[in-house]
Amino acid sequence: METVFKKIGIIGKHGDDRVIDAIKNLSEYLTAKGFEIYLDKITAELNLGLPHDVLERQTLGKTVDLAIIVGGDGTLLNAARSLFSHDVPLLGINLGRLGFLTDISPADLEAKLDQIFAGEYSEEPRGLLHTRIFRHGELISQSSAFNDVVVHKWNGARMLEYETYIDGQFINTTRSDGIIVSTPTGSTGYALSGGGPILHPSLHAFVLVPICPHSMSYRPIVVYADSEIKIIVKDCNQAEAQVTCDGQINLGLQAEDRIHISREQHLIRLIHPKSYDYYAMLRAKLHWGKRL
C-alpha cells in the first residue's frame, strides 16, 4: 500500500475499558496492512496485550507519521496539546457522544482508513491558544489550549470582576461568572453554550464570551487571532477563581493576577476522510433541520 504514513501511533482514552476492543480492531487492521505501530504509554496501561512498542508521549510525537486517537473529543484535545509541536497529523476515531473532532465511527473504520491510506483525505490546520499567568510580574504558570481558555469562579456565588485588554487597549471592566476565550475549534463547545457565535475553522480569529455577565450590554466579541489578550483579575481569591484550559488543566488565581492569551505558533494538523463536510457535521451534532 503506497501511503505517506508509515509509522502509526495509537492513543486511547485513559481509564476507559470501552476503547480496548476498538484499539484491538485498529491494531489488527494496521498490522495486516504492514504499518509500524506504536502505543502511547498511558494507552498501554489498558492491558491491551498487543505486541507493539510502547513510547512516552513526546517520544511518540518524534517517531510517528500519524497519530490515531481512539476516544472522544476530550481525548483528542489532550493529544493535540501534547503533540502539536511535533507537527504530527491527528486522526480521530469517535467513541464519545458528540465527536466534533473525532469524526470516524468504529463501524466505518476500515472503509475510511482504506480511503485515507490511499491518499483520499483532506488535511485541515487548526490553531491553538497559549496562556501565561503572571503574579507580581513573575511568570507562575503557562499552558496551551485547543478549544478554549476560561477564567472563571468555581467555589462561591460571588461574581468575578476583571479587566480585559486587547493589544494593550483597554476594552472593559466586567462583573460576571467569568470569560471564555475560544478558538474556532472551541466555538462549538463551551463558548456556544455561553451564547457565542460559531466560527468556521478556517477563520484566523478568536472569540471572547462573557459568562453570565451582570449587564446584558456585554456581548461576545470576535478578534483577530494575532491579538494579545490580557485579563486582569480584580476581585477574587485563590479559592474562588481559576483558569481552565480545555476543561482539563486548572490553574488557581489570586487578585491582580494577569492572564496573557495569544496564539500558539504551531498548528494542529487534523486528518479527515475525503467525504468530510463541516456543515453536515454541524447539522448532525446540533440537530439542525434537514433540507425541505
Q: Among all residues, which ones are annotated catalytic?
A: 73
* Rounded Cα gap, residues 179 and 46, in angstroms: 37
Find the helix packing angle between 19-33 and 109-117, rounded to 10°.
Answer: 40
Cα dist from 3 to 114, 215, 240, whole Å? 10, 55, 51
Local structure of residue 288 (DSSP, 8 states): P
* Rounded Cα gap, residues 131 and 201, in angstroms: 20
Count of C-beta atoms within a 10 Å radius of residue 127: 21
Overall size of the chain counted in residues: 292
- Which residue is associated with the grid cell 457565542? 196
* Rounded Cα gap, residues 97 and 116, in angstroms: 23
Question: What's the grid cell of residue 202?
Answer: 478556517
* Rounded Cα gap, residues 260 and 57, in angstroms: 27
Amino acid at 165: Y
User: Which of 158, 143, 132 has its CA nearest to residue 229?
Assistant: 132
Could you tell me if 190 and 182 are in contact, meaning their C-beta atoms sit under 8 angstroms apart? yes
Could you tell me if 241 and 151 are in contact, meaning their C-beta atoms sit under 8 angstroms apart? yes
* Rounded Cα gap, residues 149 and 245, in angstroms: 5
Tell me the three state secondary structure of residue 131: strand
Q: Measured in Å, how far apart are the chain's first and last C-alpha atoms? A: 43
